[in-house]
Amino acid sequence: MVKKYVLVSGGVISGIGKGIIASSTGLLLKTMGLKVTSIKIDPYLNIDAGTLSPLDHGEVFVLNDGGEVDLDLGNYERYLDVTLTRSNNITTGKIYRDVIERERKGDYLGKTVQVVPHITDAIQDWVERVATIPVDDSGEEPDVCIIELGGTVGDIESAPFVEAMRQFQFRVGHDNFALIHVSLVPTIGSV
């Protein structure tokens, strides 16, 4: 079976329930008998959540491999009954650090290293690689990967990830990529 990807993004305001939508979607797919894994993208420069104040994003969640990550990964583990790794949490810091280190080692020798295509490729490679890692006792590769994109579409912080995911639907094929966009829809009463 070809791997499927579901991207959950948000707009207008944050804190609107992307994590719950992502976890629930994963659980529904699991109920249908699919193996589900998940990736949380946090577009901040911290390498991990270990240095973050719990007042900003809630408790830091500690994974079995010692990774200190966003608490959304705790929800995923409990909803989906899986065991994730620190690689299931992508941050801007991790991606840029990797690309900058590879640049210094000469991996891009002669090239002008840019957000497009080098950062966006690195993001896509990371997602594709992590999506294959087994996360339950069966030791089998997941069928579906839920990707939650933190932050808000339109922020300068998430722009490289939005572009990477835009490209990703072409890399994996439109039939294998679904987008759920969670947004504020203002409603008014009598006017």
Residues binding a second copy (CB under 8 A): 12-16, 43-47, 51-53, 56-57, 92-93, 96-97, 99-100, 103-104, 106, 108-116, 118-119, 156-157, 159-160, 163, 184, 186, 188, 191
Q: Least separation, in Å, of the C-beta of 57 and a second copy?
A: 7
54 upstream amide cis, omega within 30 of 0: no
Q: Least separation, in Å, of the C-beta of 17 and a second copy?
A: 9
Between 74 and 142, whose beta carbon lies closer to a second copy?
74
Under 8 Å between Cβ of 160 and 149: no
Under 8 Å between Cβ of 11 and 181: yes
Q: How far apart are CA 58 and CA 99, in angstroms?
A: 29
Q: Least separation, in Å, of the C-beta of 51 and a second copy?
A: 6
Between 33 and 110, whose beta carbon lies closer to a second copy?
110
Between 52 and 82, whose beta carbon lies closer to a second copy?
52
3-state DSSP assignment of residue 101: helix
Between 28 and 184, whose beta carbon lies closer to a second copy?
184
Q: Least separation, in Å, of the C-beta of 185 and a second copy?
A: 10
Under 8 Å between Cβ of 186 and 19: no
Tell me the DSSP string of 53-83. -HHHHSSPEE-TTS-EE-THHHHHHHHHT--
